Structure 1
Amino acid sequence: MGDDTATLHMDGIPADMLLKVKKYLDCFHLSLQKLQEISARLRKDLVRGLGKHSHHRAPVKMLPTFVTATPDGTEKGDFLALDLGGTNFRVLHVRVVEEQQKVLKMDSQICAIPKEMMLGSGEQLFDHIADCLGHFLVSHNLKGQTLPLGFTFSFPCEQKEIDKSILIRWTKGFNCSGVEGEDVVKLLRKAIDRRGDYDIGSVAMVNDTVGTMMSCGYRDQSCEIGMIIGTGTNACYMEEMKNVKRVEGEAGRMCINTEWGGFGDDGSLNDIQTEFDVKVDKMSINPGVHIFEKMISGMYLGEIVRLLLVRLTEEKLLFNGQTSEVLLTPETFDTKFISEIEEKEHGLENTRRF
């Protein structure tokens, strides 16, 4: 959204009405100077999170991952993978061939997680994951093999070892009981034991940002940052060990999971939060937590737009001031609608349709 008022001269719409609309839209437009200021705040929080004693209070957690290198192409074998980070999770079987330094085969299956399960017990959630993994092994003729498993778990966890990871808190609409403060790998293994009809080998637990960075390693050895802007948002990067104060050892490097979705949890983004951001946060299941994530990621953007449409309608700037039941219903405006409205060729007809 530019500052040029020339863009406001639209046929048949009074200038004073357009100026009122512009007032609401302007709060979403940040100047370059403001963006640079926010960037400096984020950098300060990244450094703070790396500190030995300050990280407990830091909104940006900067969690060590115990991943000390990116792939070098010599890896080979058959692997299972679980990817859990939203309302769906994926089960994958991957075959990596060393000679070709590439993934030769990858089969995957998507399993849905019902909304009530996202808010139910942890045992129920992990039993569901174990069931889906079991069905996948049968349908892909892998039952009876004990394959190593990569587990991508896209929530803030304190990693103790590569196969021990404690959930700090749920985000992205999850609030399963009995999981926060627990070792997620242990909960998965217990669920598999309860089934008793298959087993898994060693488990490597990674955040989705880490998985993203490492998957790029086969194509570009210099890739040292992984970033997610999807249902939620997060980033990881390779850091010099001497800067990671909370882990012993000076030599080498380690991947750090920033958990930057928590940026702003201490109030540092209050000056750019719109009234709609504030409302989305208050209506969420975890008010005051992961403020940055709620301002920019897929789970929340549609709702921000819906609240803006409601406000413009109430101000009689849209729909002749007539609200509807569907417009007033939370989460009815999907984030994907924004992309379809912005589409170059069909944007206008998509807008009319919505």
Structure 2
Amino acid sequence: MVHLGPKPPQHRKGTFTDVPQELLTELKNLEELLTITPETLIKITDHFITELDKGLSKKGGNIPMIPGWVLDFPTGKETGDYLAIDLGGTNLRVVLVKLGGNRDFDTTQSKFALPKHMRTATSDELFDFIAECLKKFVDEEFPEGVSAPLPLGFTFSYPASQNSINEGVLQRWTKGFDIDGVEGKDVVPLLQASIEKVQVPIEVVALINDTTGTLVASMYTDSEAKMGLIFGTGCNGAYYDVVKDIPKLEGLIPDDIDAESPMAINCEYGAFDNEHLVLPRTKYDIQIDKESPRPGQQSFEKMINTSFPAKIEEDPFENLSDVADLFQNQLGIQTTSAERKIIRVLAEKIGERSSRLSICGIAAICKKRGYKSAHCAADGSVYNKYPGFKERAAQGLRDIFKWESKEDPIIIVPAEDGSGAGAAIIAALTQKRLKEGKSVGIKKN
């Protein structure tokens, strides 16, 4: 099948006869300020590669480049029943994934609302609640019981340090959680202990990040998938590197893990260019950064966050009445028709800038790993809902790689469910390694 890539986004055409000349002049200045040229994209991508390498070095860098301890590629032939859970800020999702073995799977899921007090409960209360939800789910899905413990992958989207796939020491709570007795502890045995209290046959075999899950789930169904991506309120990427090319793991790898073994890397590249060396920050970006909860951090993420401009671009009305309401209700500003037209064009330009900047991470990983063709599996609210994102991102990749062929050899495609299916597939890969007596983490002293 020939893939020609997405077509360029359609721009709203309208008359600017009622727009004062001084506004049009200022608009032109701002458009020039927000334009990301192909030369700038290439410069950013080259620096991105440098920062990815720094993150893998012993010294480290702005981008954490966290080894995910997924040491095998999914083949698509994995089979069996696996559980996954995803602990979010408002609910717990429990998923049963039946791997078909022909790059296919079926899922059944339930969501359990987190009681408000749970985010400030005790450690036992939280993990006992999760265990009770798991028991209810398993009893419903397997009324006659199971013949062997069900392997479980735990999607834990909170800062945690991992020395193996089946452990994760919580560094700090986020998303409104503030539960005593968990920070600084491994959450896997805490959950396993609660599961054993309710006597449900489940073994927690893997703790994962959702971006790594997106990578693995998409590779299971698509042999051309090379990376998992999240474009939402945050941005992130995951890909497979090679153990021997990760200097910070030198001396820590067990003897049974080959130097050529793949290793999933969770980049956490929202922190790219915190030193402000290449990103074309405007005075407005600097102001947003200063007024943010963490000034000087997550610079890249802040520049591609487009939640407010997206609302402007989504206005379907010719008179932009939704934009008028948005500015009136959220900012207390009354706008004229002429001002709204300018606002609309600027929102489109900000969206274009965001899309073009966001693909620098994709291009950097492709160049670093030598990928000449790839499916880059993406998820998140910006990718799924932002008007024109996919088309603008595709054009950005063309501007960097300057392909001569009519087809785009590197394309962004919709991802599979990372926090559900991805966690389950990683559980399958991990269980296989454990059964074979293979290591799933650093050397044990």
Question: When the two structures are superposed, what TM-score results if normalisation uses the length of structure 2?
Answer: 0.58
| Alpha-carbon spacing, 1:303–1:342, altered in 2? closer, same or farther (3 Å) | same
Task: Find the partner of 2:331 among 324, 327, 342.
Answer: 327
| Aligned residue type for 2:163 | K
| Alpha-carbon spacing, 1:65–1:26, altered in 2? closer, same or farther (3 Å) | same
- Tell me how far 1:289 sits from its aligned partner: 3.5
* Matches of 1:74 and 1:292, distance apart in 2: 37
| Alpha-carbon spacing, 1:113–1:278, altered in 2? closer, same or farther (3 Å) | farther
| Aligned residue type for 2:265 | I
CA contact (8 A) 2:86 2:93 kept: yes
| Alpha-carbon spacing, 1:242–1:19, altered in 2? closer, same or farther (3 Å) | same
Deviates more, 1:239-248 or 1:85-94: 85-94
Which string of whole-angstrom CA distances, capped at 9 and with x for unpartnered residues, describes residues 305-350 of structure 1? 789xxxxxxxxxx969x96343359xxxxx78x957769xxxxxxx
Which string of whole-angstrom CA distances, capped at 9 and with x for unpartnered residues, describes residues 164-185 of structure 1? 12334556x4553554443232
SS in 2 for 1:90: strand
* Matches of 2:107 and 2:17, distance apart in 1: 54
Please list, as runs of the form range in 1=range in 2, the aligned pairs for 1:106-145 lying within 5 A after superposition.
Answer: 106-112=107-113, 120=120, 123=123, 126-141=127-142, 145=146
Q: Which runs of 5+ in 1 are unaligned?
A: 1-6, 308-317, 330-334, 344-354
Task: Find the partner of 1:198 among 193, 200, 205.
Answer: 200
* Matches of 1:212 and 1:88, distance apart in 2: 20
* Matches of 2:91 and 2:62, distance apart in 1: 27
Task: Find the partner of 1:63 among 63, 66, 74.
Answer: 66
SS in 2 for 1:164: coil
- Tell me how far 1:160 sits from its aligned partner: 0.9
| Aligned residue type for 1:107 | T
- Tell me how far 1:222 sits from its aligned partner: 4.3
| Aligned residue type for 2:200 | Y
| Alpha-carbon spacing, 1:222–1:270, altered in 2? closer, same or farther (3 Å) | closer
- Tell me how far 1:47 sits from its aligned partner: 0.5
1:209 matched to which residue of 2? 211
1:252 matched to which residue of 2? 261
- Tell me how far 1:276 sits from its aligned partner: 5.1
CA contact (8 A) 1:306 1:327 kept: no
| Aligned residue type for 2:205 | V
- Asked if 1:294 is matched to 2:298, the reply is no
| Alpha-carbon spacing, 1:21–1:97, altered in 2? closer, same or farther (3 Å) | same
Deviates more, 1:214-223 or 1:232-241: 214-223
CA contact (8 A) 1:126 1:188 kept: yes
Task: Find the partner of 2:169 among 163, 166, 175.
Answer: 166
SS in 2 for 1:160: coil
| Aligned residue type for 1:243 | D
Q: How many residues align?
A: 310
Task: Find the partner of 1:182 among 175, 182, 185.
Answer: 185
* Matches of 1:38 and 1:272, distance apart in 2: 12
CA contact (8 A) 1:28 1:274 kept: no
2:234 matched to which residue of 1? 232
* Matches of 2:199 and 2:46, distance apart in 1: 52
- Asked if 1:39 is matched to 2:40, the reply is no
| Alpha-carbon spacing, 1:189–1:15, altered in 2? closer, same or farther (3 Å) | farther
SS in 1 for 2:185: coil
Task: Find the partner of 1:151 among 151, 154, 162.
Answer: 154
SS in 1 for 2:43: helix
- Asked if 1:272 is matched to 2:281, the reply is yes
**Which one has a larger percent helix, Structure 1 or Structure 2?**
2
Which string of whole-angstrom CA distances, capped at 9 and with x for unpartnered residues, describes residues 124-183 of structure 1? 654554444344334434695431101222344332111012334556x45535544432
- Tell me how far 1:267 sits from its aligned partner: 4.2
SS in 1 for 2:328: coil
SS in 2 for 1:261: helix
| Alpha-carbon spacing, 1:46–1:276, altered in 2? closer, same or farther (3 Å) | closer
* Matches of 1:117 and 1:273, distance apart in 2: 41
With a CA cutoff of 8 Å and minimum separation of 6, indicate the structure with the bigger relative contact order.
2
| Aligned residue type for 2:23 | M
| Alpha-carbon spacing, 1:84–1:290, altered in 2? closer, same or farther (3 Å) | farther
- Tell me how far 1:210 sits from its aligned partner: 1.8
- Tell me how far 1:51 sits from its aligned partner: 0.8
> Percent sequence identity over matched residues?
31
| Alpha-carbon spacing, 1:167–1:296, altered in 2? closer, same or farther (3 Å) | farther
- Tell me how far 1:92 sits from its aligned partner: 0.4
- Tell me how far 1:281 sits from its aligned partner: 6.6
Which string of whole-angstrom CA distances, capped at 9 and with x for unpartnered residues, describes residues 3-36 of structure 1? xxxx897121112112324444554432222222
- Tell me how far 1:237 sits from its aligned partner: 1.2
Q: Which runs of 5+ in 2 are unaligned?
A: 1-12, 254-258, 313-322, 334-380, 390-445
| Alpha-carbon spacing, 1:288–1:73, altered in 2? closer, same or farther (3 Å) | same
SS in 1 for 2:307: helix
- Tell me how far 1:292 sits from its aligned partner: 2.2
